[in-house]
Chain A
Amino acid sequence: MIIALTISLIALIFSFGSNRTAKSIVTISINFSVFFLTLIMIYFGINAIIATVIGCILISLITLFYQNDINIKTKISFFSVCFVIFISLFFTCPVVYYGNIQGFPVGQYEIRPSNGYLDSIDVNMMYLQIAVILIVLIGSSIDTSLAVSSSLYEVKKNNPKLNKTEIFLSGITIGKGIISSTINTLFFIFIAEYMSLFLYFAKYYTFSQMINSKEFAQEVITIAIAGIASILTIPITSIICSQKYK
């Protein structure tokens, strides 16, 4: 099934997309490899957060500078995304730490010691959960940041007299249009991913069990933090743009 879908995707890209869309096949393949490289690094004992931050920076480099060109717009986006990763760590770590949302909850009966998944491993699942959140937020953050920096570039080109505050404010205005589509994109991917989980909740859990369960917390907190990060991307990118576009 995967093969049939991959062939359909590539066929569609070649029949409807242009060269740059075709380029995205290469970008996606490289990003996929970076994702695996990150996992292998974690397997060989590198701290999951450090490995993932390296992975995220590589993914942003490829998506911004290979998929798009190296220019002031992508450079600004790259710095904004790095900054967003840095800030996100400050609120992601305490939430995961106090919320105890790492690892596999009791309801996930496929992943159990009896099925060969012993828990005496050297990797700490708490760091790994933070890594998952970072990977989710990096994608939407790159998307948002590039949208803001390229729109602001056009704004400045058409109105060269704008001062720094005006550029910043128009960045926030542009951001308003992007926020809602980003949040919806994240929301639907997550609903689909956890649809079977919700059917499971409906069958076995009461409402209060559900909202306090680890599986529910993992999901809602991950999507919410990705949303928070992509909203924060807007003012951060706008500030950097207002300083750099002259």
Chain B
Amino acid sequence: MIKDKKILTKLMVLVLINIVLYMGIYNNFYLYKDTIAKVEGVNGGQLTASILNGDDKGERIKLTNDYEDSLVYDDNYKKGNLLFVSYSEISNSWTIIGMKRDHIIALVLLILINLLIIFGTKQGLYTVIGLIFNILVFTLAIYLYSKGLSILPLSIVMVILFSCLILFLINGKNRNTLMCIFSTLSSVFFIGVLSTIIIYFSPDIPYDFTEFMPEPHTKGEANLLLISEILIGGLGVIMDISVTITTCASELIAKDKNIKLKSLLNSCKKVADDITGTMINVVLLTNIAAFMPIFILAINNGFRISTIINNNMYFETIRFLTGSIGIIIAIPLSIFIVSKFNERSKSI
């Protein structure tokens, strides 16, 4: 009973923290210079809203929102949405310039973090810490890029930092972690080198269709960005496989010190078999899902299917393929590294 009470108090505290955080982000109007208005009534394209911050606080205003039913480029604002609005002296009216989405993102992230902590307890908390640290590293890298550093060296440093941190958080500081880091980095290195060779020997990469490509760009810069994306995109699954295989191989070696490399390879392959299939599936689906809206829009505008796939799906396919190659190559590389480490410790 006492334990139940403790859990209940903890849950109450968690819920309370969440409500405070969410309300804080929802009501952060004072942080914005732009005028924010809350939609109070919708009548077709005519909205009535009331202003929540600034000099005109409390004023009720009328807004017009034109949108196409398909909502390809437009938004259908609903009652309760918060909008950024601006006043034009010339037309003497208010116009919508955007929507406030920070609290919606915060809500979804809060749910994720809570579930991680409830179901993952300590490990979940470490995952959250890892994510926050990774986001900080990534933000710093982007900042350095905007200051003129090249993206590929930055990405290589990021890959090393990400994998060291996450593997330390998962495994703790021990020999196993060191082996995991080695096998992860060598697998990432492998897909990096492989794709670099292929990129420089393949003629036409349709960079013009890359979304949000910084303009203007040269082919060389675009190549570096593509290689960086390949390195980082494969990192997650490669780490996952490396941890599983390294643990498995170390356990087998601990049981039988004189195990042959070949039988080690075979036993670990059985373990790998259970996970590679579904893992490649995850990489496939996660990469290609974002392609759906573009496909539907393009095909409805009379583009040929082959054109759409060649142009808009090119990079998704490449990241899927390199990620899968990473999964497959991580298995023998992990086993190889574990056995090398062992030979070394034996000779000492």
Q: How far is the CA of A101 from the CA of B321 in the complex (A)?
A: 29
9 further contact pairs, Cβ within 8 A, besides A1-B318, A176-B120, A185-B237: A111-B294, A184-B127, A188-B232, A189-B319, A191-B232, A196-B225, A208-B31, A220-B105, A226-B286
**CA of A195 to CA of B112, assembled, Å:** 22
Is A175 a contact partner of B286 (Cβ separation < 8 A)? no
Q: How many residues of B contact A (CB 8 A)?
A: 123
B72 engages A181 (CB within 8 Å): no
Q: Indicate if B16 sits at the interface (CB-CB under 8 A).
A: no
Question: Smallest distance from the beta carbon of A92 to chain B beta carbons, Å?
Answer: 10
Number of A-B contacts (CB under 8 A): 367
Which 3 interchain pairs have the tightest Cβ spacing? A192-B233, A139-B285, A185-B236
Could you tell me if A12 and B70 are in contact, using CB atoms closer than 8 angstroms?
A: no
Question: Could you tell me if A27 and B277 are in contact, using CB atoms closer than 8 angstroms?
Answer: yes
* Interface residue tally on A, bucketed by range: 35 or more
| Chain B residues with a Cβ under 8 A of chain A | 31-32, 68-78, 80-81, 84, 98-102, 104-105, 107-109, 111-112, 115-116, 119-121, 123-124, 126-127, 130-131, 134, 138, 142-143, 145-146, 151, 162, 166, 169-170, 194-195, 198-199, 201-202, 205, 208-214, 225, 228-230, 232-237, 239-240, 243, 269-270, 272-290, 292-301, 303, 314, 316-319, 321-325, 328-329, 331-332
* CB of A161 closer than 8 Å to a CB of B: no
Question: Of A121, A188, A222, which one neighbours B70 at CB under 8 angstroms?
Answer: A121
Kindly list chain B residues whose C-beta atoms are within 8 Å of the C-beta of A35.
285, 288
Cβ contacts A143-167/B at 8 Å (1 or 0 each): 1001100100000000000000000
Per the bound structure, the CA–CA distance linking A4 and B100 in Å amounts to: 45
Collect the chain A residues with CB atoms within 8 Å of residue B101's CB.
99-101, 211-214, 216-217
Q: Is the interface of A mostly helix, strand, loop or mixed?
A: helix
Contacts of B111 in A (CB 8 A): 91, 224, 228
Is there contact, CB below 8 Å, between A199 and B131? Answer: no
In the complex, how many angstroms separate the beta carbon of A196 from the nearest chain B beta carbon?
5
User: Can you name the residue of chain A whose Cβ is closest to the Cβ of B294?
Assistant: A111
Instruction: Tell me the smallest distance from the CB of B288 to a CB of chain A, in Å.
Output: 6
User: Would B296 and A184 count as touching, CB distance under 8 A?
Assistant: no
Alpha-carbon gap, A5 to B320, bound state (A) = 10
Is B321 a contact partner of A123 (Cβ separation < 8 A)? no
B289 in contact with A212 (CB, 8 Å): no
Interface residues of A in 124-151 (CB under 8 A from B): 124-126, 128-129, 131-133, 135-136, 138-140, 142-143, 146-147, 150
